[in-house]
Structure 1
Amino acid sequence: MSTPERAGWYDDPEDESLLRYFDGIIWSDRTVPRRAPSAAPAATTDPSGAHGADAAGPASTGSGTDVFGRPTGHVAGPATQAPYGTATHGTPYALASEPTTADGQVLASYGARVGAYLIDWIILAVLYAVFAGWGWWLWMKDYLSLAWDAAMANQPERVESLTPEQLVGMLDWKFFFIALGITLLVQAVYHVGFLSTRSATPGKMALGLSVRSTDRLGRLGVGTAFMRTLLPLAIGVFSVIPLVSYLTSFVAIADLVWPIKDQRRQALHDKIAGTQVVRGKQPPATSS
């Protein structure tokens, strides 16, 4: 079975009478009939008063709807069929069971969103190491040097005997705040930059997803992109505060799992910014 380039409904190679759904990563077990039952041909009248199918001519057939709700009336003989899974604005058609935006664009699945998140997480981890790694190292330099010397001398008690006050005193906190600031700046520039120029981060682009406003097509503005990044940035800031970090952990988890049950498949940061993650690319915003 060949693998399509994007999610959608495609001809089932194992059964010519069915369509099978590809979720963007693997083939699913979901199938539907290629065509819904068509209504009986309607009788027409020719100029001489004749009735019935003969008057309509041999090229006329009945009309009905296919599984996407589109008319199936056609002229007998070879015909060109629109490819399954292609909508007028470049996004897949959805069956009734698939959630869409208000104007019909198919929402991204939770699995695809998780995959995109992991790709972005890996890229950001590399960027953090490149731009802020030196600051994190200088913050813990004295402690890491002590731990290394203790390990080389096989004297673990030198580290185990440290009191909390001694440990805190060994850390250079000015470098902690410098490294934290650079890390948050890299995160903000990454998300706001890609969302406002491409409507998608590299992780989402890799899986054929994009981000749009709930009320219109087109690329996000810088302000909307920043609002979408605001909650993750706040989580990063408050996660370093003792005791408060426990609350931010719950918020971070809730943000990640919220799209599973949400009718519009929005995470908490989507709700703050008024955005949705959809399948397909976003066209440039059209002026009214």
Structure 2
Amino acid sequence: MPSYGGPLSAYSDPAGALASPWRRLAAIIIDWVILGIVGWLITLPFGQVVEVTGPNGDQRISWHAGSFVANLLVTILTLAYFTILHGKFGQTVGKMALRTRVVRADGGGAISYGAALLRIVVMYVLWAICCVGGIVDSVWLLGDHRRQTLHDKAAKTVVVRADTDAPNPYGHR
């Protein structure tokens, strides 16, 4: 750590250099496009919202029961996608495409499935706070010397470049 008032040095991680914010953004866009298509295919047959007009002409909106189950399934699938892929490989499909990887902040080792689940749950909760929490979470890495988002800080992880010549902490899984 630099001395007080001194310049910040780049965070050095045994697993490789930190991923740029642009790589992280592109990777999450790929993941959300994939999950969006899958979610759309799952919820499409059920419809999202049914609008019902009352006898006095007033309108109310009610959820279709099948839609609730479909949305719950999509949420579980999303949590499983990030938890399993991050826990097993340290990479989602988007991170694989952009050659980035999630590792422990304290040495660059593989993260646990619990840490992977914590990352996505914190991200979900922050986005649920009127999207403001999610925006703050996403932008946080721009001012952080370790390029950590709030969900990275909660799970004690960093995202690094997964160069082919760098050691893979997930190789044993």
TM-score by length of 2: 0.79
C-alpha distance 98-173 of structure 1, shift in aligned 2 (>3 A): farther
Match of 1:105 in 2: 16
Q: Return the alpha-carbon distance in structure 2 between the equivalents of residues 130 and 184 of structure 1.
A: 13
How far did 1:285 drift? 5.7
Match of 1:60 in 2: none
C-alpha distance 284-107 of structure 1, shift in aligned 2 (>3 A): closer
How far did 1:172 drift? 3.1
Match of 2:92 in 1: 201
Q: Return the alpha-carbon distance in structure 2 between the equivalents of residues 286 and 200 of structure 1.
A: 12
> Equivalences for 1:178-193 in 2 at 5 Å?
178-193=69-84
Q: What 5-or-longer segments of structure 1 have no aligned partner?
A: 1-96, 147-157, 240-246
Match of 2:102 in 1: 211
Q: Return the alpha-carbon distance in structure 1 between the equivalents of residues 131 and 64 of structure 2.
A: 23
Match of 1:132 in 2: 43
> Residue deviations 1:164-185, cap 9 Å, x none?
xx232xx235334323311210
Residue 260 of structure 1: which of 142, 145, 149 is its match?
A: 142
Match of 1:123 in 2: 34
Q: Return the alpha-carbon distance in structure 1 between the equivalents of residues 80 and 171 of structure 2.
A: 26
Q: Secondary structure at the match of 2:43?
A: helix
TM-score by length of 1: 0.49
Runs of 4+ in 1 over 4 A off after TM superposition: none
Number of equivalent positions: 161
Aligned-pair Cα RMSD in Å: 2.9
Q: Return the alpha-carbon distance in structure 2 between the equivalents of residues 175 and 196 of structure 1.
A: 31
Q: Return the alpha-carbon distance in structure 2 between the equivalents of residues 125 and 278 of structure 1.
A: 25
Higher RCO, 1 vs 2 (CA within 8 Å, ≥6 residues apart): 2
AA at the equivalent of 1:223: G
Q: What 5-or-longer segments of structure 2 have no aligned partner?
A: 1-7
Q: Are residues 1:167 and 2:60 paired? A: yes
Q: Are residues 1:284 and 2:169 paired? A: yes
